[in-house]
Amino acid sequence: MPVHNTEIATIFDHVADLLEIREANRFRVRAYRNAARTVRDQSRSVADMLEDGEDLSELPDIGEDLAAKIAEIVRTGSLPFLDEISGEVPEAIVAATRIPGIGPKRARALFDALGLGSIDDLRKAADEGRIVEVEGFGPKTQAKIRDELARGDFAEHRIRLDIAEDFAEPLVEWIRQIDGVKKAMIAGSYRRRKETVGDLDILVAGEDGAAIIDRFTRYDEVADIASKGKTRSTVTLRAGLQVDLRVVPEASWGAALHYFTGSKAHNIAGRRRAQDRDLKLNEYGVFDGEKRIAGATEEEVYDKIGLPWIAPALRENRGEIEAAEEGALPRLVALDDIKGDLHAHTTASDGKNTLREMAQAAQERGYEYLAISDHSKSQRVAGGLSEDEIEAQIDEIDRLNEAFDGFRLLKSCEVDILEDGALDFSDALLGKLDLVVASVHSKFDLAEDAQTDRIVRAMDNPRVSIIGHPTGRLVGERRPYAVDVERLVVAARQRGCWLELNADPHRLDLNDVNCRMAKEHEVKIAISTDAHSTGGLGNMRHGIDQGRRGWLCAADVLNTRSWNAVSRLLRRG
């Protein structure tokens, strides 16, 4: 069975988590994290690269030892070293590290001191007030742990969209080759491009449902078959992802696609419109009495309830029905609208590729510009640059730009916002850059007012162009820090500063709701990849998906413009 890049990266990330909890050498921990990122960023299958005889040790951050471990995973589907150290660290401790402010060392100390063995044990200890008995854990931390666990996220099994894609796309392509399959599409939250999915809903148009489902259940990555009928089957893939397959006749394809795409709230609103017209709308079609009057396409389904087709990204019952009724649906931003990327890293800090390599990759994507935004000096763990090193990079970018035709590398920096809102570099140096991305990378546990004030004070500096990943979240791993996003949006509008939608699928920050808030306040968004490699530039599509869910049009996005137009928007005062 094929081993996906995501599976290899997940194993390496898990190793890094366990090593960190065991207080292993930090360079060893970082080696596994960097290797995971390298594998995840590869556009080609690492398993295919091995089969073609390529030397994986030549990839960035993959030495001979890690290359051998990758080969072992590809060959066997597992890593004995992970099994070896897994027995020494309870999985519950790994889960506890996702609570904001509870890192690996503190999680281990807490579990050891109280003799905990599970997340339920931790929840009980918080409810009983025993956490404050552990040195270094006060009432505030105890309350935070209790509140985080009360949200229930630890029990919710959801997978990031980009990880789901690795398994979903090959599967649906394989399904399309099954005899009798006329059409096949993934519906549900996957089609709506939500940042995480709970399972996959795959819809198939075909006549012999039993034969199609029999073939589907023999897919080589199916680990368990929960049900197998004539029109529906539920299986679990080896990766733990549940897949529901439904077979419908072509006459019902559009109605079924509409129904299983959702959301539930959007579907309810649609059914009410049908009822207002004395019609019935369900997964089989639109019916006038017993007669089906539409159902083969989504367009005709929407038409019968008095609406134009609505893009799946908007189907959350957040005003899209009313906008459609008024002919005011937005023309959503598309990947082809993007003219450049305003946040990327190189080997000068923690990136995997050089200035020249990043520039070449951006040009191959048809971009007109790429902003090099390596970390500033406070980010020592990420190889943050000193002022002298930034000066040298400015000179190197100027030299490279002399040779480019129709393309420009932009001089930038991802400057740390310090606890008091000051920036990591002098105004004199920042004034030499084409743009400045200012971000929070520390002190995530400040109170909401203090965190918001900190970022607003950074915006007060007229050299700040864009606030990077404004809420600091990591999808499924770290919650946003406490911050009043509406205050940030209003402050950005007043100061002529803009906000980033970080397209890295780990971040997708701002989220869709906050993107729409920014749009309503006329604050433009930079959809940037924060790429740490040439492959990372490909994450732009994830940012576009998120922007579309936030109702963003091309006009709402900074980098749909030429550099001359962007530079005018970035000028303050």
Read off the pLDDT of residues 301-333 as tens digits, 9 standing for 90 and up.
Answer: 999 999 999 999 999 999 999 999 999 999 999
Instruction: Tell me the pTM.
Output: 0.85
State residue 94's pLDDT score: 79
- Record the tokens describing residue 439, joined without a space: 């971000």
> Is-contact 47 74, C-beta < 8 A?
yes
How far apart (Å, rounded) are the C-alpha atoms in residues 515 and 523? 9
> Is-contact 13 33, C-beta < 8 A?
yes
User: Is residue 216 classed as helix, strand or coil in its secondary structure?
Assistant: helix
- Record the tokens describing residue 237, joined without a space: 């893939």
Tell me which of 283 and 33 has the higher pLDDT. 283
154 pLDDT higher than 60: no
Residue 478 is given by DSSP the state: B
Across all residues in the chain, what is the average pLDDT? Answer: 92
- According to CATH, what is the number of the domain 253-325? 3.30.210.10
Half-sphere exposure of 271 (CA within 13 A, CB side): 12
How far apart (Å, rounded) are the C-alpha atoms in residues 242 and 185? 16
How far apart (Å, rounded) are the C-alpha atoms in residues 452 and 20? 31
Per-residue pLDDT averaged across 149-170, rounded? 80
| Beta bridge partners of residue 466, listed in sequence order | 437, 498
State residue 419's pLDDT score: 95
State residue 239's pLDDT score: 84
With 0-12 / 13-18 / 19 or more C-beta atoms within 10 angstroms meaning exposed / middle / buried, residue 238 is middle
Count of residues making up the chain: 573
State residue 244's pLDDT score: 97
User: Is residue 460 classed as helix, strand or coil in its secondary structure?
Assistant: helix
Instruction: Locate the domains of the chain by residue range.
Output: 5-86, 91-155, 159-248, 253-325, 335-570
Which of 135, 158, 249 lies closest to 203 in space, CA to CA?
A: 249
User: Is residue 264 classed as helix, strand or coil in its secondary structure?
Assistant: helix
User: Is residue 88 classed as helix, strand or coil in its secondary structure?
Assistant: coil
How far apart (Å, rounded) are the C-alpha atoms in residues 17 and 340? 35
How far apart (Å, rounded) are the C-alpha atoms in residues 215 and 178? 7
Backbone region of residue 152 per phi and psi (left: phi > 0; alpha: psi in -120 to 50; beta: other values): left
Over the range 436-454, which residues count as b (16 or more CB within 10 Å of their CB) and which as e? bbbbbbeebebeeeebbbb
Which of 321, 289, 284 lies closest to 305 in space, CA to CA?
A: 321
Over the range 47-60, which residues count as b (16 or more CB within 10 Å of their CB) and which as e? bebbeeeeebeebe
Which range is least confidently modeled, 122-126, 347-351, 401-405, 513-517?
A: 122-126
Half-sphere exposure of 127 (CA within 13 A, CB side): 8
Per-residue pLDDT averaged across 227-238, rounded? 95
| Beta bridge partners of residue 234, listed in sequence order | 227, 244
- Record the tokens describing residue 483, joined without a space: 């911050």
pLDDT > 90 in the chain, percent:
70
- According to CATH, what is the number of the domain 159-248? 3.30.460.10
* Separation in Å, CA 422 to CA 130, 379, 417: 39, 15, 6
* Separation in Å, CA 147 to CA 98, 100, 139, 151: 13, 11, 12, 7
Over residues 240-287, the pLDDT tens digits come to: 899 999 999 999 999 999 999 999 999 999 999 999 999 999 999 999
- Record the tokens describing residue 275, joined without a space: 């009822």
Over the range 9-21, which residues count as b (16 or more CB within 10 Å of their CB) and which as e? bbbbbbbbbbbbb
State residue 307's pLDDT score: 98
* Separation in Å, CA 108 to CA 96, 97, 202, 537: 9, 9, 41, 36
Q: Are strands 369-372 and 408-411 parallel, antiparallel or unpaired?
A: parallel
- Whether 91-155 shares its CATH topology with 159-248 is answered no
Superfamily of domain 91-155: 5' to 3' exonuclease, C-terminal subdomain (1.10.150.20)
> Is-contact 389 382, C-beta < 8 A?
no
Is the Cα dihedral 219, 222, 227, 233 positive or negative? negative
φ, ψ of residue 99 in degrees (nearest 5): -75, 125
Tell me which of 99 and 533 has the higher pLDDT. 533
Residue 481 is given by DSSP the state: P
User: Is residue 127 classed as helix, strand or coil in its secondary structure?
Assistant: helix
With 0-12 / 13-18 / 19 or more C-beta atoms within 10 angstroms meaning exposed / middle / buried, residue 355 is buried
Which range is least confidently modeled, 201-215, 370-384, 541-555?
A: 370-384
| Beta bridge partners of residue 244, listed in sequence order | 201, 234
User: Is residue 11 classed as helix, strand or coil in its secondary structure?
Assistant: helix
Tell me which of 48 and 548 has the higher pLDDT. 548
> Is-contact 162 505, C-beta < 8 A?
yes
State residue 155's pLDDT score: 47
How far apart (Å, rounded) are the C-alpha atoms in residues 134 and 417? 32
| DSSP E strands, 172-284 | 181-186, 196-197, 200-206, 222-228, 232-237, 242-248, 280-282
CATH of 5-86, one of 1.20.1440.120, 1.20.1530.20, 3.30.565.60, 1.10.150.110: 1.10.150.110
State residue 100's pLDDT score: 65
135 pLDDT higher than 90: no
User: Is residue 435 classed as helix, strand or coil in its secondary structure?
Assistant: coil
Confidence of residue 83 (pLDDT cuts 50, 70, 90): confident
Which of 376, 400, 349 lies closest to 532 in space, CA to CA?
A: 349
Q: What's the topology of domain 335-570?
A: TIM Barrel (3.20.20)
| DSSP E strands, 16-138 | none
Tell me which of 103 and 218 has the higher pLDDT. 218
Half-sphere exposure of 348 (CA within 13 A, CB side): 29
